[in-house]
Amino acid sequence: MVALRACFAVAVLTAGGVASANPILSNLPANSSGTGTNLGLGIDSVLRTKAVGLTMGAESLDFVSMEVLMSNPSTSPSSNLVGGIYSDVGGNPGGLLAAFTPTMIASGTTAQIFTLTVAGGFTLNAGQTYWFRLDGPNSTNSMMWNSLSPNAAPTGMGANFVGYRFSTNDGASWTNSTIYNGMTINAIPTPGAFGVLAMAGLVSARRRR
């Protein structure tokens, strides 16, 4: 097993300067179990996809990135990791809200962290449930979203962990999964929240004078 560390402090440029993105749901850093969930069309002709869900707390936050623990055996072709942020319908992933930029997982990749982002940004609204779904190509491959050893559920920090959902028919139906794949979701306060903080700082400074 390989010990892996994720870099959680992400510098994000905002109108008011540089803000630090924080993990709101994570089970990293951790050890890879060496196994996990195949994504896309497997060598057994099963079309798999998987998602992890969260419910936001009292504060809306802007999504920055999702870090995922991935591997791809040397016997499998290089493949694009795709997916996105989905709505919640009856406790399962519903409609696509924001697509991840496709990320190539090269053939022969051992378990390592890859970072997924969305073009144009996306706000995670307070109190809403979202699913972060990962998928692979519709051509035969063995790309894998690695699980952890020991099997560790994500911890919420500004969001509550809902669970993992797994599909063997490209999302037509879903089942619960207690195989916890390695992931971190990073977010920052919305620009409006930065404005409130800046105003509070200004008022405080004036009072000190």
Tens digits of residue pLDDT in 125-184: 999 999 999 999 999 999 999 999 999 999 999 999 999 999 999 999 999 999 999 999
Q: Report DSSP letters for 172-187, one per residue.
A: SS-EEE---B-EEEEE
Q: Choose the weakest-confidence range: 17-21, 148-152, 186-190.
A: 17-21
**145 compared with 207, residue with greater pLDDT:** 145
Q: 139, exposed or middle or buried, with CB in 10 Å at 0-12, 13-18, 19+? A: exposed
Query: What is the C-alpha to C-alpha distance for residues 72 and 94, in angstroms, rounded to an integer?
Result: 28
Per-residue model confidence (pLDDT) at position 67:
98
Per-residue model confidence (pLDDT) at position 191:
87
CB-CB contact of 84 with 133 (8 Å): yes
At 19, the pLDDT band (50, 70, 90 cuts) reads low
Range of the domain at 53: 3-208
**Of residues 76, 161, 92, the one with CA closest to residue 133:** 92
Q: What is the pLDDT of residues 82-91, one digit of tens each?
A: 999 999 999 9
pLDDT at 17 over 70: no
Per-residue model confidence (pLDDT) at position 184:
98
At 208, the pLDDT band (50, 70, 90 cuts) reads low
Averaged over 176-203, what is the pLDDT? 75
The pTM assigned to this predicted structure is 0.86
Total of domains in the chain: 1
Per-residue model confidence (pLDDT) at position 193:
55
Per-residue model confidence (pLDDT) at position 1:
42
Query: What is the C-alpha to C-alpha distance for residues 194 and 62, in angstroms, rounded to an integer?
Result: 11
Per-residue model confidence (pLDDT) at position 4:
43
Determine what percent of the chain is predicted with pLDDT higher than 90. 81
Determine what percent of the chain is predicted with pLDDT higher than 70. 82
Q: 21, exposed or middle or buried, with CB in 10 Å at 0-12, 13-18, 19+? A: buried
Per-residue model confidence (pLDDT) at position 156:
96
